């Protein structure tokens, strides 16, 4: 078979030919979903799953559905739901159906879909594809342990499956507590499906037991609920985490019992921490919003995550949202787990920061200046040109936006404090005092106080002073910026202005060695 999953160009003939075989995943209008559980913030791994679903939908001109799996009342909160929505928006992952935007297949909160689970169960009962089970949980547990001790399969032993249907119906009618289990066909055989990222995956027939669909309290179990949701939402491709791979055969059996078309599954490997262990709190930031708060640009996070487990060609490292959507395919998704490399994210973020225009950088800089108490939106608006001159200077030197304050602080504070290290290593060197005096002298006479003039003036200093340029410039730098490492000197001085530069030169003088 030459037609591979994700290959868009196919003929009508191919379509009809493979409609029944499921080997033609792009046969219908693509509908994918991202189904987070609002039990916490949007996790890095979840974000990547969302990105792949989004990209897959966009690539095929399909529909990207957002469904909130809020059926765990203990841990689900509305605040978490809002945070997830916020994170998706921040990443620029727009969805076509879901909370807030609606759609024909709603509602998009699992807690509002109970009715469809009931209906599905009715259909199953009508087909004799589900049966009530009266076994007590404790009893089940004991039998499971016993069977596992013997070294074999530990699933349900099908005790209640053999109860006469009429008798069972009577017990149910009498109000005896029971769950509803799937009646897995006797002759079903091994379950094989073509995973879009892993290829054929086969589970032996006896690997799946008569799983519980509906609990004693009448609520649907996870596997039942997702399957019904995906079926009723006409999801064609289920792209999700690796941890659901073993759930897939169960879900396939439910689709079959219902007579619903089985979607194409694609299982993504997990993202690991730097120690190769599952990414967790111990590894620091794991939520998307934490990365936002650390000053990462959404396009960088998106780019990094897109490449963590997928590649365009093995060469391309910088790619836009559009390029991703254009080129994304499941067959180029890697099937092995990936370690999250914060250093590479940092580098990528730096790339995106440098790509920003001066104006764009200023816009993004505002919240960080405000957070540091250096300037507010009003200051920026009133001195827009000044900030735009500053922008490229800092953009070239930071990897994350939260580094801004540290780099530009000296431009906003008067007086400044000079670091101890700078005093010792620079100002206490011979010639420092003379350098400051000379610099103050020439700069005070300067009329046009721009970077070029400042540079020309200062460059004339070392020779008559018989000092190395570095000695002179470093002394001035420390006096003006407070540190031995700073933004470019001449530009910094120009930005600071004569009135604020001169006093700094004088103030630093007391520390300086002649």
Which of 119, 150, 277, 281 is flagged as catalytic?
281
| Count of positions on this chain that bind RNA (CB under 7 A) | 89
Residues numbered 442 to 501 that lie near RNA (CB under 7 A) are 455, 469-470, 473-474, 477, 484-491
x-or-dash string of contact with RNA, 16-55, rule CB under 7 A: ---------------------x-x----------------
Residues numbered 195 to 214 that lie near RNA (CB under 7 A) are 198-199, 201-204, 207, 211-212
Is there a cis peptide before residue 71, judged by omega within 30 degrees of 0?
no
Provide φ and ψ at 167, rounded to 5°.
-60, -45
Give min distance, CB of 506 to RNA, in A. Answer: 20
Task: Decide if 298 contacts 92 (C-beta within 8 A).
Answer: yes
Binds RNA (CB under 7 A): choice among 3, 15, 17, 135: 135
Q: Could you tell me which of 361, 492, 362, 501 has the C-alpha nearest to residue 445?
A: 501
d(CA 497, CA 411): 10
Give min distance, CB of 207 to RNA, in A. Answer: 4
**Closest CB to RNA among 15 and 245?**
245
Options 168-176, 236-244, 289-297, 358-366: segment touching RNA (CB under 7 A): 236-244
**Closest CB to RNA among 244 and 498?**
244
Residue 281 among the catalytic residues: yes
Residue 216 engages RNA in binding (rule: CB under 7 A): yes
d(CA 54, CA 192): 27
d(CA 266, CA 111): 26
**Closest CB to RNA among 223 and 501?**
223
3-state SS, residue 265: strand
Q: Rounded to a whole number, what is the distance in angstroms from the first to the last CA of the chain?
A: 83
Q: Could you tell me which of 203, 204, 336 has the C-alpha nearest to residue 267?
A: 336
x-or-dash string of contact with RNA, 290-319, rule CB under 7 A: -----------------xxx-x-xxx-x--
State both tokens at 512.
């300086």
**Closest CB to RNA among 236 and 269?**
269
CB atoms within 10 A of CB 199: 10
Alpha-carbon dihedral sign for residues 484, 486, 489, 493: negative
Residue 155 engages RNA in binding (rule: CB under 7 A): yes
CA dihedral 114, 121, 156, 231 (to 10 degrees): -70
**Closest CB to RNA among 346 and 370?**
346
Residues numbered 242 to 281 that lie near RNA (CB under 7 A) are 242-247, 269-270, 272, 276-278
What order of strands is seen across the sheet that includes strand 264-268?
63-66, 31-34, 237-241, 264-268
Residues numbered 323 to 352 that lie near RNA (CB under 7 A) are 331-332, 334-339, 341, 343-344, 346-347, 350-351
Residue 117 engages RNA in binding (rule: CB under 7 A): no
Active site residues: 281
């Amino acid at each position: 078979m030459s037609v591979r999953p994700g290959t868009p160009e196919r003929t009508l003939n191919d379509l009809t030919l493979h409609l029944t075989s499921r080997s033609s995943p792009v046969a219908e209008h693509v509908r994918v979903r991202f189904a987070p559980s609002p039990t916490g913030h949007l996790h890095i791994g979840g974000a990547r799953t969302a990105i792949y679903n989004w990209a897959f939908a966009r690539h095929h001109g399909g529909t990207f559905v957002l469904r909130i799996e809020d059926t765990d009342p203990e841990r689900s909160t509305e605040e978490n739901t809002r945070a997830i929505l916020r994170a998706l928006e921040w990443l620029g992952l727009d969805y076509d159906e879901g909370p807030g935007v609606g759609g024909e297949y709603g509602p998009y909160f699992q807690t509002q879909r109970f009715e469809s689970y009931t209906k599905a169960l009715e259909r199953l009962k009508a087909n004799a594809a589900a049966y009530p089970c009266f076994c007590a949980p404790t009893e089940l547990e004991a039998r499971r342990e016993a069977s596992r001790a013997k070294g074999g399969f530990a699933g349900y032993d099908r005790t209640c499956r053999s109860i006469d249907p009429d008798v069972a119906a009577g017990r149910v009618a009498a109000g005896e507590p029971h769950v509803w289990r799937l009646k897995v066909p006797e002759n079903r055989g091994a379950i094989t499906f073509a995973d879009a990222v892993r290829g054929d995956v086969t589970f032996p027939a006896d690997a799946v037991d008569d799983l519980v669909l509906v609990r004693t309290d009448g609520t649907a179990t996870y596997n039942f609920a997702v399957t019904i949701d995906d079926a009723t939402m006409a999801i064609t491709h289920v792209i999700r985490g690796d941890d659901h791979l073993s759930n897939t055969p169960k879900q396939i059996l439910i689709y079959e019992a219902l007579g619903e078309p089985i979607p194409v599954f694609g299982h993504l490997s997990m993202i690991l921490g730097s120690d190769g262990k599952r990414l967790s709190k111990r590894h620091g930031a794991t939520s998307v919003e934490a990365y936002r708060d650390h000053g990462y640009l959404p396009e960088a996070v998106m780019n990094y995550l897109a490449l963590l487990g997928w590649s365009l060609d093995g060469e391309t490292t910088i790619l836009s949202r559009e390029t991703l959507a254009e080129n994304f395919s499941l067959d180029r998704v890697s099937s092995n787990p990936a370690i999250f490399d914060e250093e590479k994210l940092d580098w990528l973020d730096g790339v995106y920061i440098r790509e920003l225009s001066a104006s764009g950088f200023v816009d993004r800089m505002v919240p960080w200046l405000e957070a540091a108490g250096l300037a507010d939106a009003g200051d920026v608006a009133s001195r827009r040109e000044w900030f735009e001159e500053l922008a490229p200077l800092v953009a070239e030197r930071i990897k994350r936006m939260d580094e801004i304050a540290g780099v530009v602080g000296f431009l906003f504070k008067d007086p400044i404090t000079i670091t101890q290290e700078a005093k010792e290593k620079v100002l206490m060197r011979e010639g420092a005092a003379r350098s400051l005096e000379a610099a103050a002298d020439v700069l005070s006479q300067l009329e046009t106080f721009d970077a070029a003039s400042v540079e020309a003036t200062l460059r004339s200093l070392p020779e008559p002073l018989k000092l190395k340029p570095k000695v002179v410039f470093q002394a001035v730098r420390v006096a003006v910026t407070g540190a031995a490492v700073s933004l470019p000197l001449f530009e910094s001085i120009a930005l600071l202005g004569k009135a604020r530069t001169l006093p700094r030169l004088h103030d630093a003088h007391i520390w300086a060695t002649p």
